C-alpha cells in the first residue's frame, strides 16, 4: 500500500473518531516524529564524530589491561 493511500485511509478513520481519540492519535504522531528527529540527530552526530580526528587517539590507544589482570571471571 502506498504512502498516499495510507494517509487517505488514516484521515478517513480519524474523521469517524471522537475528538478525544483524535487527540490521542495526534499525540502519538508527535511522539513518533520526536523519536525520528532524535534518531536522525544521533546518526548525524555519529557521522560527524566518526569523520573527526578529535577522537582518533582512542583508536591508537594501546591495551593497558589483559585477561590475565582479572581477579575474578564471570561464567
Contact 25, 14 (CB under 8 A): yes
Is 71 a domain residue?
Answer: no
For the full predicted model, state whether its pTM sits above 0.75: no
Contact 22, 14 (CB under 8 A): yes
Stretch 32-54: mean pLDDT, rounded? 90
Stretch 19-24: mean pLDDT, rounded? 96
Is 13 a domain residue?
Answer: no
Number of domains in the chain: 1
Is 25 a domain residue?
Answer: yes
C-alpha grid cell, residue 41 = 540527530
- Structural domain including 32 reads 19-62
pLDDT at 68: 87
Is the pLDDT score of 37 beyond 80?
A: yes
- Cell 557521522 appears where? 47
Amino acid at each position: 500500500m502506498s504512502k498516499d493511500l495510507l494517509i487517505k485511509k488514516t484521515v478517513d478513520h480519524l474523521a469517524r473518531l471522537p475528538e478525544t481519540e483524535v487527540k490521542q492519535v495526534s499525540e502519538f504522531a508527535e511522539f513518533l516524529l520526536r523519536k525520528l528527529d532524535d534518531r536522525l540527530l544521533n546518526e548525524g552526530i555519529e557521522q560527524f564524530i566518526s569523520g573527526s580526528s578529535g577522537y582518533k587517539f582512542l583508536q591508537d590507544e594501546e591495551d593497558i589491561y589483559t585477561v590475565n589482570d582479572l581477579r575474578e571471571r564471570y561464567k
